[in-house]
Amino acid sequence: MFAGGGVEVDGVAHQPDKELGFGLHGEKMRTESGGWQSFFLCLEIPPVFIDSMKYIFVTGGVVSSLGKGLTAGSLGALLEMRGLTVRIQKFDPYLNVDPGTMSPYQHGEVYVLDDGAETDLDLGHYERFTSGRLSRNNSLSSGQVYESVIAKERRGDYLGKTVQVIPHVTNEIKERIYKGGKGVDVLITEIGGTTGDIEGLPFLEALRQFALEVGPKECIFIHVTLVPFVTAAGELKTKPTQQSVAKLREIGIQPHLLVCRCEKPLTMEMREKLSMFCNVPVKAVLAAEDVAHSIYELPLMLQKQGMDQLVCDLLGVRAKPNPKNVWAEIVDRIKSPKFTVNIGVVGKYIELQDAYKSVYESLSHAGIANRAKVNIVRVDAEELESKTGLKQLNKLDGILVPGGFGDRGIEGKIAAAGFARREKIPYFGVCLGMQVAVIDFTRNVLGLKKANSMEFDEKTPEPVIALMDEQRNVVQKGGTMRLGAYTCTLKPGTLARKSYGVDVVSERHRHRYEVNNDYLERLEKAGMIISGWNPKRGLVEITELKGHPWFLGVQCHPEFQSKPNKAHPLFAAFIAAAIKYSRKKQK
């Protein structure tokens, strides 16, 4: 796959014959003829000796949001570089069946997998840091566990026994561990929440039992904890970590490694103290300081402290380090950009870092691909509902409207799409972002001023965005949208076809409403290009505009398939167009 866009855009390395191929972005170099050629630096997989499948469990202590998911993802990345096949999964103790119906204020974004599973945003980290594709088998909540146990009881599967947390609930959890790791060398399982939470106890008990069943050298425990800096005392404090590990040991779990989140460097004296009180070797007390530039520095930070070698030694795996370090190249590109662009993300949850997590990361990946620093400007959609509010868009080199639900701020999003259309600013609409662009075009180019989406106005006389037929009688909210991967056929000669470099693609979806096909003929006559189409269902997937340098909307969520070492081609092309626009402005 190659990213297009009109400037020196790096190609996206893609080698289907190497499942574990960490294809670095090809650096485009001048040829004697003046054209551009690509070369790719790919990771050569070293030989590995492993006698059986291995299990790694990542727990957290003291407080939540310490970065357990990033730690799990970073470890998976380091093990993959050594030639091991890795899969990562998440167990969440909350009683929701999945995060699909949760508010972004409660849980951040919902990350969608190929099979349509609505999962925790940490699964996004897992897929971005490693080459594995995850499924609904790799996301488990207490709600799913109890739902399954109760269904079995109703069917009579337990043959009249008293159903209890031990063994029935814990057996269900253990079954998912065994099921989740088929076909890989190493299965990493992150346990959500914090050690000591009452709802997490069945999961930890299941892990204790599992470790006993598989035996030593087959599984290890990594505990991510906080070593806070107390300003008044002017020092780091280890007591919270000591207490957290003590709580874990009460349950019957002894961690093999400690990953200590800290603001200041962890001294040797501190490491020795934690080693003594937590019963962990000094070399297994690792520091995870706040990174200076990007989360993609974390694998290098942990590798420098020997985390991957420690894990291999504990599990009895012989896997040599790889001399070619893809993460060093990624971090070098982040630290040494050639271009800078300002990209406005127009949404209604802009104050929440995690609400559009995958979009922000995909923009970062596209910056890496283009050797560009991407400054993300968060724009509150409601502020754009006035003409004075639109002035803040003048400073941008590109505008992105992400997915979302509900009518709050919708007129501001429509205004943002219209501004980008009129001012010829690169525009990328994702899911709802495509729909608002279609609404703007219908109102202001076709002249149908009352055009709207049925999501926001059920009685609109011009429903250019309409509810899918199969959604009309849906009552339940959870798991009932158009979810998962769907194919899309690309129209030759379009931005989408040029960016992807192939004729047919597969992208993930999460929505209920679609472009109304009754308006397609009029839209196309007025200058809208339908560049992506789902032939099986007859649905619009991608739209563009004639005469605009880069204006593209997608019904899917391409942000769910972007990686730091393989930027999504549409995001890469969008940032390339923004670079071109920025350079043109400066002349």
Any idea which residues carry the catalytic annotation? 431, 557, 559
Packing angle between helix 239-251 and helix 201-214, nearest 10 degrees? 70
Contact between 25 and 14 under an 8 Å Cβ cutoff? The reply is no
| 398: β partners | 343
| 323: β partners | none
Residue 501 corresponds to which tokens in the numbers above? 């470099």
End-to-end CA distance of the chain: 31
Give the separation between CA 132 and CA 569, rounded to whole angstroms: 19
- Reduced to 3 states (helix: H, G, I; strand: E, B; else coil), residue 343 is strand
Contact between 529 and 491 under an 8 Å Cβ cutoff? The reply is yes
Q: Residue 328: how many CB atoms within 10 A of its CB?
A: 13
313 backbone dihedrals φ, ψ, rounded to 5°: -65, -45
Maximum Cα–Cα distance for the chain, whole Å?
80
Q: How far is CA 300 from CA 60, 428, 579, in A?
A: 21, 32, 29
Q: Tell me, what amino acid is at 548?
A: H
Contact between 77 and 209 under an 8 Å Cβ cutoff? The reply is no
Burial of 201 (0-12, 13-18, 19+ CB in 10 A): middle
568 backbone dihedrals φ, ψ, rounded to 5°: -65, 135
The arrangement of strands across the sheet holding 86-92 comes to 139-141, 86-92, 186-191, 54-60, 219-226, 257-262, 285-289
Residue 372 corresponds to which tokens in the numbers above? 């560009």
Residue 383 corresponds to which tokens in the numbers above? 């502020």
